[in-house]
Chains A and B, each alone.
Chain A
Amino acid sequence: MGITAVSRSKPQARHIVHHSVLLVWCVVVLFPLWTMIINSFKLRLDIYRDPFGLPKVWNFQSYVSVFQDSQFLTYFKNSLFVTVGSLTIILFIGSLGAYALVNWKSGKSKLIYLFFIAGMMIPIRIGSINLLSLIKSLGLLNSIYSLFPVYIAMGMPIAIFILTEFIRQIPTELSEAARIDGAGTFRIYSSIILLLLRPALATVAIYNLVPMWNDLWFPLIFINEESQKTLILGVTRLFGQYQTDWSKILAVLTLSAIPVMALYLLMSKQFIRGLTSGAVKG
């Protein structure tokens, strides 16, 4: 009863607990990130003397040498290529498939839908040994292209799930009108469905973007060739290479964390919706 009385008369008093717990956690989240960013701008010895303060001298040398002496930019380009490429293909063939699954009224289409959805709960890593020999026999080992088929397959269940759900909600009147005007199935897809589908496509893209960009496992088991490595796999090499120079390591870590983090801060609402969408609906 005591708690009720407090909560009714002084709601702000109760919020103190909320704020202090949430604030403490925010510090726990931001402290390592602060430590990472701030020390990447320090001289080597200052890192040990004062790990938490702002740098006395802002030193950009670590960043300069990461760009100059390493294949960082190659890694970055590879990651960008494979992420954007796989996402584009997922969105295209996923929306085609979802469009067919919604409009094809038959028992078979229901079965195919269930077959796709079953993949949402099963981690593809379990089949890694098989994938490895499959990629080898396709001659893709040690090439950035080895990642495309795996990432596309990995993204398919959630793409089908979200996109069919969304296409079902599009009023059929729109497509019917186009049909009366003589538009075929592909015309309706490309000029009506695809346009209305944009928010759902964004959700699917974000859901797949983060795990793809951040993936270590498949690049690690498929790629050994420096020129083909992704950013995250490249970071493992640079981490070993710069072992004694921590400001360089921290610069590498900062540089590899910044792109997705910046994108997230720019559109956090879409990110949170995207990354949790599989769970909330499923």
Chain B
Amino acid sequence: MVRPLFTYSTAQKHKQAIVWMAYLLPSLLFYSVFMAYPLFNSIWLSFFAGEFGRLTTFVGFDNYVKLFSDPIISERYWGAFGHTWLFFTVHMFVQNVLGMIFANFLITRKLRGAKVYQTIIFIPATLSILVTGYLWKLILNPQWGAINLVLKSLGTENWAIPWLGDSSTALLIVSFVSSWQWVGIPTMIFLAGFQNIPEELYEAANIAGATSWQIFWKIKMPLMLPIIGVVSILTFVNNFNAFDVVFAMTNVNGAPQYATDLLGTLFYRVGIAGQHPIGIPDRGMGTAIATVTFLILAIGVTIVMRLTRTGQEKE
């Protein structure tokens, strides 16, 4: 039990509240004005419309109705929506499953070079997504064809295709590159989680004759569930705001033929940069897209937290 450091009579309490508020003022001010306010005001602005980027007229749910009923806008929206889900699914199955495998290997006792592996696996997470995206774009470029040279040397030259130019592969490649970049984060989070599991549990299971496969599924997995939840939430939130990797590898239009368009790039085009052919941003529509994303995130995070909450936790 932590005792309060400063104890006062009721009369002094009021004065102290003012002192502590003064300490809190700068952080509260920055956070409220530049984070909380823009977030909430965004929702409010999605009920407005106006010309030349100025939102002047209250239009109720018009932006939302248009977003889901206008043939062109709704087609783009559902396209980006589906791509974002695929992008997220690849991250769950590639980035997070690999992270789990790596962490499970790295936790092995007396594994030589575990520290070196850890350090290398984490390197890409320190790079800028833009740099990663550009670098892979060059490597995948058929003109240089660094990756195609590798494939040829492995005897699979019919795989040498313009990876990012083909709308059937582009989104998958972009998702793989993003997973390549971030795999270190779940690896380290899972590793920290594994390290928190008491050693005795494994030993007891070992003595009881459990296989490592059984230990993984019956002991580690249930104990890791809350951490898997945290990693899923992080992945979900980041993926539904992804923008940079598409910006770097294809472009803000989600080339080819909008095949790599994500909610993040759609939001940028509609609300900030302005879409072809008008080139003037529609801020009302942009905030409507952002608000829908916000709702998706809120619902998704709640569901994941419910699913992965274990009995003994109060939260």
A interface residues, Cβ below 8 angstroms from B: 1, 3-4, 7, 11, 14-15, 18-19, 21-22, 25-26, 28-30, 32-33, 35-36, 47-48, 51-52, 93-94, 96-97, 99-101, 103-106, 108-109, 112, 115-116, 119, 121-132, 134, 149-150, 152-154, 156-157, 159-160, 168, 172, 175-176, 179, 185, 210, 213-214, 216-217, 220-221, 232, 235-236, 239, 246, 249-250, 253, 256-257, 260-261, 264-265, 268, 271-272, 275-276, 279-280, 282
Q: Which B residue's beta carbon lies closest to that of A239?
A: B134
Q: Which A residue's beta carbon lies closest to that of B127?
A: A257
Contact B193 A280 (CB under 8 A): yes
Contact B5 A175 (CB under 8 A): yes
Partner of B23, one of A36, A96, A175, A213: A96
Closest beta carbon of chain B to A243's beta carbon, Å: 11
A47 — which chain B residues lie within 8 A by C-beta? 144
Contact A25 B144 (CB under 8 A): no
Contact B24 A176 (CB under 8 A): no
Contact B127 A130 (CB under 8 A): no
B237 — which chain A residues lie within 8 A by C-beta? 121, 123
Contact A132 B144 (CB under 8 A): no
Number of interchain pairs (Cβ within 8 Å): 265
Contact A26 B130 (CB under 8 A): no
A-B contact pairs, 27 of them (CB 8 A): A1-B209, A4-B210, A22-B106, A22-B117, A35-B135, A47-B144, A101-B24, A104-B16, A105-B4, A108-B17, A121-B233, A127-B290, A129-B286, A130-B41, A153-B33, A156-B31, A160-B27, A172-B2, A220-B247, A235-B131, A246-B144, A250-B138, A261-B123, A264-B122, A276-B188, A279-B234, A280-B230
Give the complex CA separation of A75 and B138 in angstroms: 23
B: interface residue count bin: 35 or more
* Chain A interface mostly: helix
Partner of A123, one of B41, B117, B127, B241: B241
Partner of B138, one of A96, A128, A159, A246: A246
Q: Which B residue's beta carbon lies closest to that of A206?
A: B126
